[in-house]
A and B are shown apart, each in its own frame.
Chain A
Amino acid sequence: MKTLAKLALAAAVLAPLPVLAHHSYAMFDMQRTVALEATVVRFKWQNPHAFIEADATSRGGTERWSIEMTSPNNLAQEGWKRTSLKPGDRVTIWVHPLRTGARGGSYVGVRLPNGSTLGEAG
């Protein structure tokens, strides 16, 4: 998976055009990954993108993050289901953060309460 991701990254850097998706990914800093210790507030399993809303622990208390994922049909292939997350779950989520500094990002991976991981965790 890591090799694949690196290859994908190399391809993305080479490609002169943004990847064709629901919208451009230029809003995210795809070179940077941030780990969030967070409590799930909402997990929405729906096109065009599944997403996670979570309260992340920070120095100042908690911050509400909005994390965009890829499509459910893509996520299902890495083992995701509609029931993979539920409100109140304590998780670690890795994201490519928004360039604006707002509390949002593009999903990279997650460690679930039972210790198992999905995507690129760590």
Chain B
Amino acid sequence: MRLALGCAAALLLAAPAAAQLGAAPKSPPPEGVAEDGGAGHAKGHYHELDALPDWGGIWFVQGGASGGGGPPLIPKLKGEYLERYQAWRAEVQANNGVTRRNRSNCSPPGMPRIMRLAQYPYEFLFTPGRVTINQEAWMQTRTIWTDGRAHKEDPDPTFMGDSIGHWEGDTLVIDTIGISDQLDLDTGMPHSAQFRLTERIHLSPDDPDVLVNEMRMEDTEALEEPFMVTVRYRRDRHGSLIEFQCAENDRNPVDEEGNTEFL
């Protein structure tokens, strides 16, 4: 009997090991990228990066989550999305202003909210064919493909979505689809699977230590009209991101009723 169990375990283990011994994984080139091109063939293209603007250092959201100045901007939801938001607001008001959570506080907010966090900085890394945005918050990584590829066909819904970018002079223009409809577009505000985000990111003409992100959110099912918000980040030239291991320091677990605890 023990032998049989041992055999079963060996058989179970054998399968993945055998798979590892086979041929290396070989993804086809993405649509719009040649077999010998794209971000996977970075070598020989590093010198091209020198033409890109100076985004070195780390960047903190400036002047509050909305970038400061002027009256707060509010997305105009419609239909069932507006109803869901109104129900959420009513519940928060009835609950002494406290938001109920259906996910752990160690679960990141995803796009687009993660680009608007007041407490945790960002860095922008350039390599041939892609821009990588590292977010200190939840130690998240965002990849923006700039190698000419098209969006994935029917991308899996994810926290970061599927981002394709290109440079217009010194402005990085990013188009993002495939952001999970389980995430909020703003606090308490749901969106549909049709949600699409366009970002235009460039240094401020008034201050080279300020990076401007003009965000435009479109959602034909959830939004009455496109929602536009500009976020500004200020530079810390020699700063660096700090580790974020939420599970190692979770003082705010969520109880069964969705209330955030305080330990």
- Which A residues fall within an 8 A CB radius of B? 8, 11, 14-24, 26-27, 44, 46-49, 51, 66, 68, 70-74, 77, 98-99, 102, 104
Q: Do the beta carbons of A46 and B71 come within 8 Å of each other? A: no
Contact indicator per residue, chain B 71-89, by CB within 8 Å of chain A (1) or not (0): 1101000000000000000
Q: Do the beta carbons of A73 and B249 come within 8 Å of each other? A: no
- B242: chain A residues at CB < 8 Å are 47, 71-73
Interface size class on chain B is 35 or more
Since A19-B118, A47-B243, A73-B242 are in contact, a sample of 17 more A-B pairs with Cβ atoms closer than 8 Å, ordered by chain A residue number, is A15-B64, A15-B66, A19-B64, A19-B65, A20-B65, A20-B113, A20-B117, A23-B105, A23-B252, A26-B96, A44-B249, A46-B243, A48-B249, A66-B263, A70-B119, A71-B119, A72-B242
CA distance A74 to B116 in the complex (A): 15
CB of B215 to closest CB in A, whole Å = 13
CA distance A27 to B71 in the complex (A): 25
CB of A47 to closest CB in B, whole Å = 4
Q: Do the beta carbons of A47 and B260 come within 8 Å of each other? A: no
CB of B58 to closest CB in A, whole Å = 8
Which listed residue (A20, A70, A73, A98) contacts B262, Cβ 8 A? A98
- B245: chain A residues at CB < 8 Å are 46-47
Determine chain A's interface SS by DSSP, over half rule: loop
- B137: chain A residues at CB < 8 Å are 22, 48
- B65: chain A residues at CB < 8 Å are 15, 17, 19-20
CA distance A20 to B64 in the complex (A): 9
Determine chain B's interface SS by DSSP, over half rule: loop
- A26: chain B residues at CB < 8 Å are 92, 96-99
Q: A19-B64, A98-B262 are in contact. Are A46 and B249 (CB under 8 A)?
A: yes
Among residues of A, the one whose C-beta sits closest to the C-beta of B189 is A17
- Could you jot down 30 A-B contacts, CB within 8 Å? A8-B64, A11-B64, A17-B74, A17-B186, A19-B64, A20-B109, A20-B116, A23-B252, A23-B260, A24-B99, A24-B260, A26-B92, A26-B96, A44-B249, A47-B120, A47-B242, A47-B246, A47-B249, A48-B105, A48-B120, A66-B262, A68-B262, A71-B120, A71-B242, A72-B242, A73-B120, A73-B136, A73-B239, A74-B60, A77-B236
